[in-house]
Chain A
Amino acid sequence: MGYYLERIGQAIITFWAAITITFILYRLMPGGPVESMRNQLMEEAAMEGGEIDMDRINRLVELHTGVNPDQPIHIAYVDYLMDIVLYQDFGRSIWRNEPVFDVLWAGMPWSVFVSFYGLLLGFTANVLLGALMAWWENTRFDNWSSIIATFLNSVPYYVGAILFLAVFAFQLGVLPRGGRYNEHLDPGFHLPFMFSVIEHGILPIATGFIVGFGGGALAMRGNSIRILGSDYLRVAQLRGVSTARIATRYVTRNAILPLYTGLMIGISAIFSSSIIMELIFTYPGVGWYTWGALEGRDYPLLMGIFLFYTFVTILGILIADLTYGYIDPRAGTEGRQEAY
């Protein structure tokens, strides 16, 4: 029970830290958005000549950034925190002219959809390939797979994305060049629309696959090889346990355990990468709005995107953490050494 409480507490602390980081960046940093906007307005006022009307400037700043410069900083901080946590109010997007939460909410399912499948497929491929490489250690298959996996590991996912786009969308023309679904179809629960969603999702998911694939196969191979040499496997063999059972229950299950922790970092990596992926494929998920937010200096939206990705990542990691106890009964026994 303590383990679960600790993990949930950690997730809450993390999200609080993320909110605080955005607040500090947004409000307190010298040269941050609020200050630079105020300076710009003051300069303009000075250029026009005449008296500088601070009230008017403050009102303009408030209009553009959603920040009231007169408010004391600690009250502003509490307000900011309460707005986000209690009312899911991330402010109003300047570029889209609608609440930030609505913009992100509309894009979220699509981002999660492609990221989830990409990560899932990559992780599965890691486990299968790694296990096979370990099983046939030092054969030609193993050597070639190792080299190919290393090489793929050094190809950035976005290079893969650009190549996919160039080959499948532009040269062969078999897959769409961007978007989430065919715009001529009515979104709904019917076959042509669902097929169109899958068709548009293939390349983004393939990109996520590259991210998830990473070095995991080699890690899986290393883990499996280490386990293959252990004594309890020999005992199992002598007891007459079937090879299939040894391969799945004895080796693979134990070899996956360390990878499961890697999966958490994978969750963070895949949501990070989805910004770049969505921009390349013009796939209007959450990350796609980053570009517009940057172009339009739309800081509320930008901060909202950051907080959204942090939230999804924390949630994914929390789920992985809470289920880890079921997979590895030894979890939660670390951290018992003497303190100096």
Chain B
Amino acid sequence: MSTDAQEPRTDGGHALFGPMATGGEASTRRERAYRLYDIYVYAPASIMWNNWRAQVGTFLILFFVAMGTIGVHIYPEPTYGLADPYIGLFESWEYPLGTDRAGRPIDRQIVHATPPMLQMALAGAIFAVGVAVVVGVTSGFKGGKVDRMLMTACDVMICIPGLPLVIVLAAIFEPRSPFVVGVILAIDGWPGLARALRSQVLTIRESGYVEAQRAMAVDQGTIIRKDITPQLMPYILINAAQTMRAVIFESVALYFLGILPFTVTNWGVMMNLAYTQGGALSNLGRAGHWLFAPMLALILFSFGLVLFAQGMDSVFNPRIRARHAKTVTTDEESGQMV
């Protein structure tokens, strides 16, 4: 960004995001920061606001993020024997979701399991999206041998079933930190996105302004960084949401089955204890809420992430946008930016 003023610029093409979207010079640091905010935060947010899926999705995600950051400080930690064991749903106003076998309130357990899960999801998404962007953009832009090699690597990874690989890795490394668990769980998350990004880059690189940049001998790294990657932001965001969902799904499953060591709290750990210690399946009346409350939290969170991804998709996907603009009028149409 600092070398902005000296660099040759093109006049062709248009971009949804990135420096091309506004053009103009930004001299002071403050103006540049404002411009970045405007391009990457304000514009997408204002588009999203007109789409109900994105709205509900964002609301749910923010709710869980708030739970993991602020909620942990409001609700004290659940301790053993805080209340009577096996209080049912809504039986006591103090503990609306009831308590488990050791008298720990379920609602507090759910809240206190959120931060490590958010850390896992974040680490997984950053890892998978990072690898996918590097592989996909390089492959699409370079073409030729590099493309073939990277895409073969992608296809190999797509064909290797993810969960067995994750289980093998988890067994060998016995990860303890939520960040490491997140990265291991997302190890198979990148090839699909890398392929999708590659095909996007293939179309962008044919566009006039990229060709002009190459004609002016702008170096490839700069083209990739400034002209190509910003246009991929919607895809990256959508896939980050999907990767987070996958990481959370898998982490809860593996903790539920007891495959990952119980070093952090997790909704899956709660479900495991409800199943093994509470006998929740054979005695739903006694321990059912212990099993189903974390499940419900899981479904809500993932519903939020799915809605967010879908909302972003219908806002940014030009195909859907074009179709809606031409044929039908829905609430989504008012959110178009063209």
Q: List residues of chain A with CB under 8 Å of any chain B CB.
A: 10-11, 13-14, 17-18, 21-22, 25, 29, 31-33, 137-138, 150-151, 153-156, 158-159, 162, 165-166, 169-171, 218, 222, 225-226, 229, 264-265, 268-269, 271-273, 275-276, 279-280, 290-291, 294, 299, 302-303, 305-306, 309-310, 313-314, 317, 337-340
Contacts and interface: CB of A to CB of B under 8 A. Distances in A.
A306 B306 contact: no
10 contacts: A14-B155, A150-B310, A151-B303, A154-B299, A154-B306, A166-B280, A166-B291, A218-B310, A294-B167, A306-B165
A272 B161 contact: yes
Interface in B306-337: 306-307, 310, 319-320, 323, 326-328, 330
A257 to B, nearest CB: 16
B160 A271 contact: no
Interface of B: 141-145, 147, 152, 155-156, 158-165, 167-169, 171-173, 192, 202, 214, 220, 245, 249, 252-253, 256-257, 259, 271, 275, 280-282, 284, 288, 291, 295, 298-299, 302-303, 305-307, 310, 319-320, 323, 326-328, 330
Prevailing SS type, chain B contact patch: helix
A17 B156 contact: yes
A291 B328 CA distance: 52
A171 B152 CA distance: 49
Contact of A268 (B147, B162, B173, B306): B162
Contact of A340 (B141, B172, B252, B323): B141
A31 B173 contact: yes
B157 to A, nearest CB: 9
A119 to B, nearest CB: 13
A291 B202 contact: no
B284 A170 contact: yes
A309 B158 CA distance: 13
B164 A306 contact: yes
Contact of A339 (B142, B168, B169): B142
Contacts of A229: 323, 326-327
Contact of A265 (B147, B164, B192, B306): B192
Contacts of B147: 339
Contacts of B280: 166
A151 to B, nearest CB: 6
Contacts of B253: 156, 158, 276
Contact of A314 (B159, B168, B259, B319): B159
Contact of A302 (B163, B168, B220): B168
A25 B169 contact: yes
Contacts of B302: 154-156
Given A17-B160, A290-B167, A294-B167, 11 more contacts: A11-B159, A13-B152, A14-B155, A150-B310, A154-B245, A156-B249, A264-B158, A273-B163, A275-B163, A294-B259, A339-B142
A39 B327 CA distance: 69
Nearest to A286: B164
Given A162-B281, A162-B291, A310-B161, A153 B306 contact: yes
B158 A170 contact: no
A158 B305 CA distance: 18
B299 A159 contact: yes
A155 B220 CA distance: 43
A230 B159 CA distance: 34
A184 B275 CA distance: 28
Nearest to A215: B306
A310 B164 contact: yes
A166 B155 contact: no
